[in-house]
């Protein structure tokens, strides 16, 4: 989780790279709140070179990718902890069998769909109110 960035920030001939920070707060009832922001001025300068969305598309895809990757790892850890047959098949194979990968993919997708279904109404309201306040101000 604490790794060095494989790409220096900035705009280069073959790529552009910026960093998004995500803050997480878990309250006493188990509720999770988050925020995201660019790490600094250099990141803002990079996003300004990325077209009209100013990095929103790239950032959204990056955060989604990391969320899905993390959920797949969580589902894999759950399977390894609770399913001895899964663990045996995975540890005994030279490479991960397609059937295990497909099962992990299905379980990951199901969990993500359940989570998103719960989250989207509140997030849609929050996004609408945020933009609406900007239009008024």
Q: pLDDT digits over 34-79, tens only?
A: 999 999 999 999 999 999 999 999 999 999 999 999 999 999 999 9
Q: Specify if 38 maps to a domain.
A: yes
Are 26 and 71 part of one and the same domain? no
The range of the structural domain enclosing residue 48 comes to: 1-54
Domain assignment present for 60: no
Question: Do 38 and 75 share a domain, yes or no?
Answer: no
pLDDT in tens, 72-113: 999 999 999 999 988 888 888 888 889 899 999 999 999 999
71 and 137 co-located in one domain: yes
Question: What tokens does 74 get?
Answer: 């969580």
**For the segment 3-37, what is each residue's pLDDT rounded down to a tens digit?**
778 899 999 999 999 999 999 999 999 999 999 99
Scanning the structure block, which residue is given the tokens 């047959």?
85
Separation in Å, CA 111 to CA 2, 20, 93, 107, 133: 25, 25, 26, 6, 33
pLDDT of residue 87: 87
**Residues 72 and 99 both lie in one domain:** yes
92 assigned to some structural domain: yes
Count up the domains in the chain and report the number: 2
Chain-centre distance of CA 71, in angstroms? 9
């Amino acid at each position: 989780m604490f790794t060095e960035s494989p790409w220096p920030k900035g705009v280069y001939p073959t790529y552009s790279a910026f960093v998004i920070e995500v803050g997480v707060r878990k309250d006493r009832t188990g509720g999770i709140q988050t925020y995201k922001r660019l790490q600094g001025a250099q990141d803002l300068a990079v996003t300004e070179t990325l077209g009209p969305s100013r990095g929103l598309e790239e950032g959204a895809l990056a955060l989604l990718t990391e969320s899905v990757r993390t959920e797949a790892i969580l589902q894999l850890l759950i399977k390894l902890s609770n399913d001895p047959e899964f663990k045996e098949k995975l540890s005994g194979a030279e490479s991960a069998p397609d059937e295990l990968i497909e099962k992990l993919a299905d379980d990951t997708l199901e969990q993500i769909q359940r989570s998103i279904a719960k989250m989207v109404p509140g997030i849609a309201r929050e996004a609408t109110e945020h933009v609406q306040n900007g239009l008024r101000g």
